Amino acid sequence: MRTTCNYPCFRTKEKQISKREQKTQPLQLVFFDMDGVLLDTVSSWKYIHEQFGTTNERSIMPYLRGDIDYLEFIRRDVSLWRTNGEAVSKKTLENILYSIPFIPGVQETISYLKNQGIRTAIVTAGLDILAEKVAGEVGIDYTYANAVKVGADGRLTGEGVLQVELMQKDKNVRDLVKKLNLPLTACAAVGNSCFDIPMLEVCGIGIAFNPEDTCIIHNADVVVTEKDLRKLIPTFQKYLS
């Protein structure tokens, strides 16, 4: 069941969009969120917590209120992941994350875009060890994700490396289009939650896929409710030329 946005910081942003004010150009680059879009999990962070019997609920509202930054949010998450009283190893973390299944149709959709000469990117507030594995397996060109630091013993140090702010994914979108010298109107963004709204809004095409809340539906040009990424192909076809 879809819900309205549960986070106060996004409630005022809900709006109905009938069409883009700007002209959309032929598609050259598609940005994908990872969790719930490429992978069949609401949150890879939550997925890890479930394996350890922990939760990050105590950190969510302080972050959304601005009491802590996202790097501190990551630190608090990592501090909870322990085995036999010790910090978890990178290998253990990889084994957990690599068990998350793909959303149906991922390989076919990315292959279709690649065959059309359209580049692809992941923008996720999740971890790079998972994003890079996903990108490598299905052929995605670029990844933006966060990282956890690992000590000489192979265990997490408790520190993180911030590359993607949960509520500011548009910054990573703008960074890549600038490097590639592409207009934002030649880009599409695919997301499933209110946290993806900023990147949907800056791209020429904003797609809500497998949406988990109504606010992203209200801020998207195209909505696909079926959990099959191949359902996006007809939309991409419309913007090839």
Amino acid (1-letter code) at residue 72: E
CATH number, domain of 212, equals: 3.40.50.1000
Residue 153 φ then ψ, to 5°: -85, 0
Q: Is residue 2 part of a domain?
A: no
Q: Is residue 41 part of a domain?
A: yes
DSSP state of 25: P
The strand pair at 82-83 and 205-209 is best described as unpaired
The strand pair at 205-209 and 222-224 is best described as parallel
Q: Is residue 1 part of a domain?
A: no
Between 57-65 and 70-79, two packed helices, what is the crossing angle to 10 degrees? 170
Is the pTM of the predicted complex or chain greater than 0.85? yes
**132 and 143 in contact (C-beta within 8 Å)?**
yes
**Structural domain that includes position 82:** 10-238
**31 and 173 in contact (C-beta within 8 Å)?**
yes
**114, pLDDT greater than 90:** yes
Q: Is residue 4 part of a domain?
A: no
Q: Is residue 209 part of a domain?
A: yes
Per-residue pLDDT reduced to its tens digit, 149-199: 999 999 999 999 999 999 999 999 999 999 999 999 999 999 999 999 999
Per-residue pLDDT reduced to its tens digit, 26-80: 999 999 999 999 999 999 999 999 999 998 888 888 988 899 999 999 999 888 9
Q: Is residue 67 part of a domain?
A: yes
Structural domains counted in the chain? 1
Beta bridge partners of 149: none
pLDDT band at 6 (very low <50, low <70, confident <90, very high): low
**4, pLDDT greater than 60:** no
Q: Is residue 234 part of a domain?
A: yes
Q: Is residue 189 part of a domain?
A: yes
pLDDT band at 5 (very low <50, low <70, confident <90, very high): low
